[in-house]
Amino acid sequence: MSAVLHRFPVERRRTPDLALLIELIPPFDAMCARLAAVGLPRPPSHLRLWYEGQKIGQDMLADLTVPDDPATASRLLTRHFQPMIDLAILHLSQARDALWQAERDDAIAPSSPAMQGRAALLERESWERAEYTLAAWEVFAAAIRARSDPSVRGIEQKTVR
Protein backbone atom coordinates (compact mmCIF):
# COMPACT_ATOMS: atom_id res chain seq x y z
CA MET A 1 0.00 0.00 0.00
CA SER A 2 1.31 3.45 -0.84
CA ALA A 3 0.30 6.73 0.71
CA VAL A 4 -0.20 9.94 -1.20
CA LEU A 5 0.51 13.18 0.60
CA HIS A 6 -1.39 16.24 -0.58
CA ARG A 7 -0.74 19.82 0.40
CA PHE A 8 -3.82 21.76 1.51
CA PRO A 9 -2.40 25.24 2.00
CA VAL A 10 -3.78 27.91 4.27
CA GLU A 11 -4.12 30.31 1.32
CA ARG A 12 -6.96 28.14 0.00
CA ARG A 13 -8.77 28.28 3.33
CA ARG A 14 -8.70 32.06 3.77
CA THR A 15 -10.59 34.85 2.12
CA PRO A 16 -8.54 36.16 -0.81
CA ASP A 17 -7.67 39.77 -0.05
CA LEU A 18 -4.72 42.15 -0.24
CA ALA A 19 -3.42 41.11 3.18
CA LEU A 20 -3.23 37.48 2.06
CA LEU A 21 -1.61 38.49 -1.23
CA ILE A 22 1.10 40.43 0.61
CA GLU A 23 1.61 37.56 3.05
CA LEU A 24 2.11 35.05 0.22
CA ILE A 25 4.70 37.03 -1.75
CA PRO A 26 7.94 35.05 -1.53
CA PRO A 27 10.98 36.72 0.04
CA PHE A 28 12.99 38.31 -2.75
CA ASP A 29 16.43 37.09 -1.65
CA ALA A 30 15.33 33.47 -1.15
CA MET A 31 13.59 33.48 -4.53
CA CYS A 32 16.70 34.89 -6.26
CA ALA A 33 18.85 32.21 -4.58
CA ARG A 34 16.57 29.45 -5.93
CA LEU A 35 16.68 31.01 -9.40
CA ALA A 36 20.48 31.23 -9.32
CA ALA A 37 20.75 27.62 -8.11
CA VAL A 38 19.04 26.40 -11.29
CA GLY A 39 20.67 28.94 -13.63
CA LEU A 40 17.66 31.18 -14.23
CA PRO A 41 17.89 34.99 -14.39
CA ARG A 42 16.69 37.29 -11.64
CA PRO A 43 13.26 38.90 -12.04
CA PRO A 44 12.95 42.30 -13.70
CA SER A 45 13.48 45.39 -11.59
CA HIS A 46 10.87 46.29 -9.04
CA LEU A 47 10.49 49.74 -10.63
CA ARG A 48 9.67 48.23 -14.02
CA LEU A 49 7.03 45.99 -12.48
CA TRP A 50 5.64 48.93 -10.51
CA TYR A 51 5.38 50.99 -13.70
CA GLU A 52 3.63 48.15 -15.55
CA GLY A 53 1.23 47.66 -12.65
CA GLN A 54 0.43 51.36 -12.48
CA LYS A 55 -0.30 51.33 -16.22
CA ILE A 56 -2.60 48.31 -15.82
CA GLY A 57 -4.40 50.01 -12.94
CA GLN A 58 -4.85 53.23 -14.92
CA ASP A 59 -6.17 51.30 -17.93
CA MET A 60 -8.63 49.40 -15.73
CA LEU A 61 -9.76 52.59 -14.00
CA ALA A 62 -10.21 54.41 -17.32
CA ASP A 63 -12.82 51.81 -18.31
CA LEU A 64 -14.94 52.56 -15.22
CA THR A 65 -17.30 55.33 -14.27
CA VAL A 66 -16.48 55.93 -10.62
CA PRO A 67 -19.35 57.40 -8.58
CA ASP A 68 -18.74 60.48 -6.42
CA ASP A 69 -20.09 58.81 -3.26
CA PRO A 70 -17.03 57.50 -1.38
CA ALA A 71 -18.72 54.34 -0.02
CA THR A 72 -20.16 53.40 -3.40
CA ALA A 73 -16.87 54.14 -5.15
CA SER A 74 -14.98 51.99 -2.66
CA ARG A 75 -17.37 49.04 -3.11
CA LEU A 76 -17.33 49.32 -6.92
CA LEU A 77 -13.56 49.61 -7.23
CA THR A 78 -12.86 46.84 -4.73
CA ARG A 79 -15.34 44.49 -6.43
CA HIS A 80 -13.92 45.32 -9.87
CA PHE A 81 -10.34 44.68 -8.73
CA GLN A 82 -11.03 41.45 -6.78
CA PRO A 83 -10.52 39.08 -9.76
CA MET A 84 -6.99 40.41 -10.20
CA ILE A 85 -6.25 39.72 -6.52
CA ASP A 86 -7.77 36.24 -6.83
CA LEU A 87 -5.62 35.45 -9.86
CA ALA A 88 -2.42 36.66 -8.20
CA ILE A 89 -3.16 34.55 -5.11
CA LEU A 90 -3.90 31.52 -7.30
CA HIS A 91 -0.55 31.91 -9.08
CA LEU A 92 1.31 32.31 -5.78
CA SER A 93 -0.41 29.21 -4.41
CA GLN A 94 0.45 27.17 -7.51
CA ALA A 95 4.07 28.27 -7.25
CA ARG A 96 4.18 27.26 -3.59
CA ASP A 97 2.68 23.88 -4.53
CA ALA A 98 5.33 23.39 -7.21
CA LEU A 99 8.15 24.33 -4.81
CA TRP A 100 6.76 22.04 -2.12
CA GLN A 101 6.47 19.16 -4.57
CA ALA A 102 9.97 19.72 -5.96
CA GLU A 103 11.47 19.80 -2.46
CA ARG A 104 9.52 16.70 -1.45
CA ASP A 105 10.55 14.80 -4.57
CA ASP A 106 14.16 15.88 -4.10
CA ALA A 107 14.11 14.56 -0.53
CA ILE A 108 12.90 11.16 -1.77
CA ALA A 109 15.20 10.95 -4.79
CA PRO A 110 17.25 13.70 -6.43
CA SER A 111 14.98 15.34 -8.98
CA SER A 112 16.01 16.68 -12.32
CA PRO A 113 17.20 20.27 -12.64
CA ALA A 114 14.26 20.85 -14.98
CA MET A 115 11.78 20.13 -12.17
CA GLN A 116 13.64 22.48 -9.81
CA GLY A 117 13.83 25.08 -12.59
CA ARG A 118 10.12 24.83 -13.33
CA ALA A 119 9.24 25.45 -9.67
CA ALA A 120 11.66 28.42 -9.43
CA LEU A 121 10.30 29.89 -12.67
CA LEU A 122 6.71 29.59 -11.44
CA GLU A 123 7.73 31.33 -8.23
CA ARG A 124 9.37 34.19 -10.15
CA GLU A 125 6.36 34.62 -12.43
CA SER A 126 3.95 34.62 -9.48
CA TRP A 127 6.15 37.17 -7.66
CA GLU A 128 6.06 39.43 -10.74
CA ARG A 129 2.27 39.14 -10.98
CA ALA A 130 1.86 39.92 -7.28
CA GLU A 131 4.11 42.97 -7.52
CA TYR A 132 2.30 44.53 -10.45
CA THR A 133 -1.07 43.65 -8.89
CA LEU A 134 -0.10 45.66 -5.81
CA ALA A 135 0.99 48.56 -8.03
CA ALA A 136 -2.30 48.42 -9.95
CA TRP A 137 -4.22 48.38 -6.68
CA GLU A 138 -2.42 51.56 -5.62
CA VAL A 139 -4.11 53.35 -8.54
CA PHE A 140 -7.50 52.10 -7.33
CA ALA A 141 -6.68 53.02 -3.72
CA ALA A 142 -5.76 56.55 -4.83
CA ALA A 143 -9.13 56.84 -6.60
CA ILE A 144 -10.90 55.71 -3.43
CA ARG A 145 -8.93 58.21 -1.33
CA ALA A 146 -9.77 60.96 -3.83
CA ARG A 147 -13.47 60.27 -3.33
CA SER A 148 -13.12 60.17 0.47
CA ASP A 149 -11.02 63.30 1.03
CA PRO A 150 -13.00 66.51 0.43
CA SER A 151 -9.84 68.58 -0.16
CA VAL A 152 -8.72 66.24 -2.95
CA ARG A 153 -12.23 66.04 -4.39
CA GLY A 154 -12.33 69.84 -4.71
CA ILE A 155 -9.09 69.84 -6.69
CA GLU A 156 -10.37 67.02 -8.87
CA GLN A 157 -13.59 68.93 -9.66
CA LYS A 158 -11.65 72.08 -10.58
CA THR A 159 -9.45 70.19 -13.05
CA VAL A 160 -12.49 68.64 -14.74
CA ARG A 161 -14.14 72.00 -15.42
Query: What pLDDT sits at residue 109?
Result: 62
Query: What pLDDT sits at residue 68?
Result: 86
Query: What pLDDT sits at residue 158?
Result: 40
Query: What pLDDT sits at residue 154?
Result: 47
Query: What pLDDT sits at residue 111?
Result: 62
Q: What torsion, rounded to 10 degrees, do the Cα atoms 66, 69, 75, 80 define?
A: 0
Query: What pLDDT sits at residue 152?
Result: 52
Query: What pLDDT sits at residue 155?
Result: 42
Q: One digit per residue, pLDDT tens: the chain, 161 residues?
A: 455 555 556 666 678 899 999 999 999 999 999 999 999 999 999 899 999 999 999 999 998 888 888 899 899 999 999 999 999 999 999 999 888 888 887 666 666 677 788 999 999 999 999 999 999 999 999 998 988 876 655 444 443 33
User: 115: which DSSP letter?
Assistant: H
Query: What pLDDT sits at residue 82?
Result: 94
Query: What pLDDT sits at residue 148?
Result: 80
**Closest listed residue to residue 82, CA positions, set 28, 20, 142, 124:** 20
To the question of pTM greater than 0.85 for the whole model, the response is: no
Query: What pLDDT sits at residue 54?
Result: 96
Query: What pLDDT sits at residue 156?
Result: 44
Query: What pLDDT sits at residue 108?
Result: 65
- Residue 113, C-beta contacts closer than 8 angstroms, at least 6 positions apart: 38, 39
